[in-house]
């Protein structure tokens, strides 16, 4: 096997990196995951993840973790309501969609990010994840790499795999290609104890998801398994909006006043989101890979997930592409049909780039539709088509 007697370093302990570590360990590979979080109890940010049968769930099945997923997913969290800015419901599948329908082509079961991470962590060999490992740089060493971390720790690896997200510090070692701004920015908020703090919105959500469209802006939200609600204010903005807005994102009054101005005409029912969010609000400018990106494969370095192909979240493919990357990469670098690691990595990267470009284009197009004047009509047509 191409990875016999080689030490693999995966930088980044998100779903893609941890899935790859598990799949490689099942093949007998020596793997370490270097994660910047202090420990396994670090708070995992972000909305729940919906996994798809042909990608995320396929990777979990290959890893032998599908039953663990089924025991921990959020039944009903994929149910959807489409609303306008006045919180009037134009579409709901709450009464017709089953809580569990594994194997159905359009079933997208949801799971908390933290829960998925625990499932993956618990499946790994003890000592696989090196916590509090903040990567700062690396340099060639013999036929591999020497990696340096913020705490001064230096390690060597024969093969390095970047799973360190959209702002990857390893990607520049592979390509000069940079992601571009999509034109859309999201303001990320989380509400604790939502049943008590925002009872009206909690009831509206009813354990599922809401997409509200109006005036070329969105409010997107979903129920988390721990009683929290995660939401995004999504809108078109200049690339430097985060700075030029002048907003102090830890100042609730400032952000609330901005919201009332920019979301003018929206029902006051949404105000509760701003009044009960855990501070600070998190601004997230949305970036996307160049759809024609390419590079020459290296013999001992590659990447997956957002490090390789960050894309807008408007097709629900980010985590699924990362986990599919992990599945395909694990298969190619442990296959006996390639004469070298470089050939195996090249094969993986060519196919990864092709499918990622398709999904990125779909995500960009969906983002435009969702922030257009006809967004509500367009999205109703999409959901009613099912």
Per-domain boundaries in the chain: 7-59+111-175+293-360, 180-288
Q: Is residue 386 predicted with pLDDT exceeding 80?
A: no
Contact assessment for residue 104 and residue 147, using Cβ atoms and an 8 Å cutoff? no
Tell me the pLDDT of the chain averaged across its residues.
95
Q: Looking only at Cα atoms, what is the longest distance across the chain?
A: 63
φ and ψ at residue 34, rounded to 5 degrees:
-110, 115
Instruction: Read off the pLDDT band of 178 (50, 70, 90).
Output: very high
Is 113 annotated in a binding site? The answer is yes
pLDDT digits (tens, 9 = 90+) for 50-109: 999 999 999 999 999 999 999 999 999 999 999 999 999 999 999 988 777 787 777 889
CATH topology (fold) of 7-59+111-175+293-360: FAD/NAD(P)-binding domain (3.50.50)
Closest CA to 31 of 154, 171, 119, 130: 130
Is 353 annotated in a binding site? The answer is no
- Helices marked H in 78-208 — which ranges? 113-123, 194-197, 199-205
**How far is 4 from 211, CA to CA, in rounded Å?**
49
**How far is 371 from 376, CA to CA, in rounded Å?**
9
Q: How many CB atoms lie within 10 A of CB 196?
A: 11
| CATH architecture of the domain formed by 180-288 | 2-Layer Sandwich (3.30)
**% of residues, the chain, pLDDT over 70:** 100
Is 53 annotated in a binding site? The answer is no
Determine the average pLDDT of the residues in 5-18: 97
pTM: 0.95
**% of residues, the chain, pLDDT over 90:** 91
Is 50 annotated in a binding site? The answer is yes
């Amino acid at each position: 096997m191409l990875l016999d007697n080689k030490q693999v370093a995966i930088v980044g302990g998100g779903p893609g990196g941890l899935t790859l570590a598990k799949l490689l360990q099942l093949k007998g590979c020596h793997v370490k995951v270097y994660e910047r979080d202090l420990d396994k109890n670090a708070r995992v940010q972000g909305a729940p993840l919906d996994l798809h049968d042909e990608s995320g769930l396929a990777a979990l099945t290959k890893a032998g973790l599908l039953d663990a997923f089924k025991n921990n997913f959020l039944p009903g969290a994929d149910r959807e309501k489409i609303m306008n800015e006045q919180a009037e419901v134009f579409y709901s599948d709450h009464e017709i969609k089953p809580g569990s329908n594994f194997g159905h082509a359009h079933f997208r079961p949801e799971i908390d990010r933290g829960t998925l991470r625990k499932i993956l962590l618990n499946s790994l060999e003890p000592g696989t994840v090196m916590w509090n490992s903040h990567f700062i740089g690396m340099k060639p060493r013999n036929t591999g790499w020497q990696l340096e971390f913020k705490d001064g720790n230096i390690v060597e690896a024969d093969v390095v795999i970047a799973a360190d997200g959209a702002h990857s510090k390893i990607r520049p070692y592979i390509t000069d290609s940079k992601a571009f701004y999509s034109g859309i920015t999201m303001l990320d908020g989380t509400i604790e104890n939502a049943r008590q703090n925002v009872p009206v919105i909690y009831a509206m959500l009813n354990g599922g998801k809401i997409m509200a469209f109006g005036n070329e802006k969105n409010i997107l939200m979903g129920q988390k398994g721990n009683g929290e609600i995660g939401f995004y204010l999504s809108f078109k903005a200049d690339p430097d909006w985060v700075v030029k807005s002048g907003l102090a994102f830890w100042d609730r009054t400032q952000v609330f006043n901005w919201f009332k101005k920019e979301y003018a005409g929206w029902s006051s029912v949404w105000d509760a989101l701003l009044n009960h969010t855990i501070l600070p609000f998190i601004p997230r400018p949305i970036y996307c890979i160049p759809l024609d990106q390419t590079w020459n494969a290296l013999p001992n370095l590659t990447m997956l997930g957002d490090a390789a192909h960050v894309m807008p979240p408007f097709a629900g493919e980010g985590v699924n592409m990362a986990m599919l990357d992990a599945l395909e990469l694990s298969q190619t670098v442990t296959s006996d049909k390639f004469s070298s690691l470089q050939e195996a990595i090249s094969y993986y990267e060519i196919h990864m780039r092709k499918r990622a470009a398709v999904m990125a284009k779909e995500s960009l197009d969906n983002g435009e539709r969702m922030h257009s004047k006809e967004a509500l009509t367009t999205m109703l047509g999409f959901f009613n088509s099912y």
